[in-house]
A = this chain, B = another copy of it.
Amino acid sequence: MSGLRNRPPLATIHDVAQLAGVSIKTVSRVVNREPHVSAGTRARVDRAIQVLNYRPNIAARTLAGSRAYLVGLYFDNPSAGYVSQMQSGALRACRAAGYHLVIEQLAGSSVEVQNQLRQSLAAVRMDGVVLSPPVCDRGEVLDLLDALAVPHVRIAPARELGRGPYVCMDDGRAAQEMARRLLALGHRRFGFIKGHPDHAAAEIRWRGFANALAAAGLILGPRDTWQGDFSFRSGSEGARRLLSRGPRPTAIFASNDDMALGAIAMAHRLGLRIPDDLSVAGFDDSPGAEAVWPPLTTIRQPVAEMTAGAVNMLIDGHGPGRSEPQLFDFELVVRGSTGPPPIVDLAAGL
Q: Give A residues with C-beta under 8 Å from B.
A: 1-8, 10, 53-60, 62-63, 65-70, 78-81, 83-85, 87-88, 91, 95, 98, 100-105, 116, 118-120, 122-128, 147-151, 232, 258, 261-262, 264-265, 268-269, 287-288, 290-295, 314-318
Contacts and interface: CB of A to CB of B under 8 A. Distances in A.
Given A3-B66, A55-B119, A100-B102, 17 more contacts: A2-B317, A3-B126, A3-B127, A5-B65, A5-B66, A54-B122, A58-B124, A59-B125, A69-B123, A70-B124, A79-B287, A95-B116, A100-B104, A268-B293, A268-B294, A288-B288, A288-B291
Contact of A293 (B5, B60, B258, B264): B264
B6 A149 contact: yes
A291 B316 contact: no
A304 to B, nearest CB: 9
A95 B108 CA distance: 14
Contacts of A80: 84
Given A53-B118, A232-B291, A1 B63 contact: no
Contact of A59 (B7, B63, B128): B63
A87 B100 contact: no
Contacts of A100: 102, 104, 120, 123-124
Contacts of A316: 1
Contacts of A318: 1
Contacts of A70: 124
A1 B103 contact: no
A8 B147 contact: yes
A60 B124 CA distance: 10
A79 B88 contact: yes
B291 A125 contact: no
Contacts of A55: 118-119, 122-123
Contact of A4 (B116, B125, B295): B125
A67 B128 contact: no
B57 A122 contact: yes
B291 A65 contact: no
A311 B297 CA distance: 40
A291 to B, nearest CB: 4
A94 to B, nearest CB: 9
Contacts of A268: 293-294
A127 B1 CA distance: 8
Contact of A88 (B58, B78, B88): B78
A325 B57 CA distance: 32
A119 B5 CA distance: 19
Contact of A291 (B6, B127, B258): B258
